[in-house]
Amino acid sequence: MPRIHSEAARLIGQRIRRARQDLGISLENLGELAEVNWTSVGKIERGVSSPTTETLIRIATALEVDAGDFLHGITADAYNARHHQLTAREFIEARTHAGRRGL
């Protein structure tokens, strides 16, 4: 069985599958409506593939859902390991603080 791309991909796929099943349409139907290959939709639903922005919007439009609903609450931590945990604000504050110390 293929490996999950990331926790974020798994969550997005789960949300897409739920929306599709709530409407009672098949993967093939969703693929046709979204103009995305249905096998790609299947990979996205299983979390094996992470959708591009365009694909996510095409799928959301076909399902009559806001694409943001599929992303709600997902952060960078849901993707593979990050090298640092700083936000832009934290980075700027650290740089400003280091500048005051003459570094």
Handedness of CA 62, 67, 73, 77 (dihedral sign): positive
Q: Return the pLDDT at 28.
A: 98
pLDDT tens digits, 69-79: 999 999 888 88
Q: Which range marks the domain in which residue 79 is found?
A: 7-100
Domain annotation covers residue 52: yes
Above pLDDT 90, what percent of the chain? 68
Domain count, the chain: 1
Domain annotation covers residue 1: no
pLDDT tens digits, 5-40: 899 999 999 999 999 999 999 999 999 999 999 999
Check which CATH number belongs to the domain holding 67 and give it.
Answer: 1.10.260.40
Residues 73/65, Cβ–Cβ less than 8 Å: no
Which pTM was predicted? 0.81
Burial class, 9, CB count within 10 angstroms (exposed 0-12 / middle 13-18 / buried 19+): buried
